[in-house]
Each structure stands twice: as C-alpha cells, then as structure tokens.
Amino acid sequence: MSPKAGVVLPGYFAYVVPPLEGLWMTESGGFDGTNITDKSGLLWTSMIRQPDFVTPKVFDWARETLHKKKPALPIEQARLEIFTEGTCAQILHIGPDDAESVSIEKMKRFAEGNGLISAIGDPLPGGGMRRHHEIYLGDPRRTAPEKLRTIIRHPMKRA
C-alpha cells in the first residue's frame, strides 16, 4: 500500500497478500480441532504473514495511517510478531469446517506412524502455547462449503 500513499519503504516490493491464518484454543488450553461442541468457547488469533520489509517501524506507520482513515477500528489489538512454530504435521482439508475432524484423525495417524505425538498445549519459547493452526485457502463468502480448502497444522514432538 505504500506506493499508493506516496511512501517509499526500504526493500519494498509488490506482493500478493498471503492467506489468513488462525490459531485456536480454549480457555483450558489445548484444542485439537475435534469434538467441537460449543464454538463460542473458542479463543483465536488471526494472522497474515508479512514480507520481510515490514519492520516494527513500518508496522507502526501502517497502523497510524490506518487509524487516521478509520479511527473506529481497534488498531491497538494488531501487533507484529515473529512466529516460530517448530516441528508440525499438516494436512489439506477439503470441505466444511465442521468436517475437519476426519482430516485431523488422518494427520494424527500419519504423525504417530512417524514417531510423533501432538504438542498442542506445550509452551512456546517466547511465551504462550503451541496451538491448533489453520491456513484458509478459500473464502467462505464465495466458496461452497464442500469446496473450501484449509491447511490444518498441528505442532508435534517426538514420541
């Protein structure tokens, strides 16, 4: 967006915005994406990967620019952080969110067959915990539920 604003950022290049990602958990901690009985109890963090030229200084500039245009948005909730996930297993799920448990079970069997077990709920080095991770490759507003594509990624550790 910086060229449109007349700003030249060091290292800037035109890029396609990566897909939306989500980290999921419950108040009690670990949530593996299965056995969802009450979705209102889920806690989430949304993420969009940023190119390397987005430094903390560039991020602060972008937040302030957005705040001037849309002062009602809660920009204080947005943050720039480095996210290191560690060893994971992942699977491409095709279909509605409510059917993800079938794909998750396949991924778990694969991981177990390769000497891995879930690390959901384990601590992250910088604080927080390892969580159920989804990468959304389709837009539910424009895609039929049976055609939605979601990468499901679970943190793993050696058994």
Task: Give the model confidence (pLDDT) of 72-86 as tens digits.
Answer: 999 999 999 998 889
pTM, entire model: 0.91
pLDDT confidence tier of residue 1, bands split at 50, 70 and 90: low
Amino acid 100 reads E
Q: Which residues contact 30 (CB under 8 A, 6 or more apart)?
A: 120, 121, 129
If 0-12 CB within 10 Å is exposed, 13-18 middle and 19+ buried, where does residue 64 land?
exposed
pLDDT value at 89 more than 80:
yes
Three-state secondary-structure class, residue 108: helix
Residues 34-58: tens digit of each pLDDT: 887 788 889 999 999 999 999 999 9
Task: Residue count of the chain, please give it.
Answer: 159
Question: What whole-number distance in Å separates Cα of residue 140 and Cα of residue 150?
Answer: 11
Say if residue 139's pLDDT is above 90: yes
pLDDT (tens digit, 9 = 90+) per residue, 9-38? 889 998 999 999 999 998 887 789 888 778
**What's residue 41's pLDDT?**
87
Q: What's the average model confidence in pLDDT over 118-141?
A: 92
* C-alpha–C-alpha distance, residues 32 and 131, integer Å: 8
CATH number assigned to the domain covering 1-159: 3.20.80.10
| The pLDDT of residue 117 is above 80 | yes
